Amino acid sequence: MKGARGFLCAGGFWFAMGASAAGPSNVQFSAQVVKSTPDQKTHHSQIYVGDNQVRLEYQKDSQTKVEIYDMKNQRALLLVPQQASYMERKVPQEEQKNPMLPPSDSNPCSRIRAAQCKLLATESLYGREVSKWEMVVTDDGKTLRSLHWMDAERHTPLREQWPDGTVSELRLKGDEMLGGRATERWEMKTTRPDGESKQSIQWYDPELQISIREELPGGYFRELRDIRVAPQPDHLFTVPANYQRVTPEQQQPAEPTEAPQKRAPYPARQ
Q: Are 12 and 33 in contact (CB under 8 A)?
A: yes
CATH, domain range 1-102+218-270: 2.50.20
Q: Are 91 and 80 in contact (CB under 8 A)?
A: no
| pLDDT, mean of each 10-residue run, the chain (270 residues) | 40 34 73 90 93 93 92 91 94 70 85 88 96 94 95 94 96 96 96 95 94 91 96 96 86 39 29
Distance CA 44, CA 36 (A): 9
Handedness of CA 96, 101, 105, 110 (dihedral sign): positive
Q: What DSSP line would sit under 109-123, residue for residue?
A: GGS-TT-EEEEEEEE
Any bridge partners for residue 178, and if so which?
181
Distance from the first to the final alpha carbon of the chain: 9
pTM across the whole model: 0.79
User: Helix, strand, or coil here: 232?
Assistant: coil
- Count Cβ atoms within 10 A of the Cβ of residue 195 and give its class: 0-12 exposed, 13-18 middle, 19 or more buried: exposed
Contacts of 29 (CB under 8 A, 6+ apart): 49, 208, 227, 228, 229, 230, 232
Position 19 scores a pLDDT of 35
Chain region(s) in the chain for CATH 2.50.20: 1-102+218-270
Distance CA 243, CA 248 (A): 15
User: Helix, strand, or coil here: 219?
Assistant: coil
Position 203 scores a pLDDT of 96
Any bridge partners for residue 108, and if so which?
none
Closest CA to 53 of 78, 34, 35, 74: 74
Position 251 scores a pLDDT of 55
Position 256 scores a pLDDT of 35
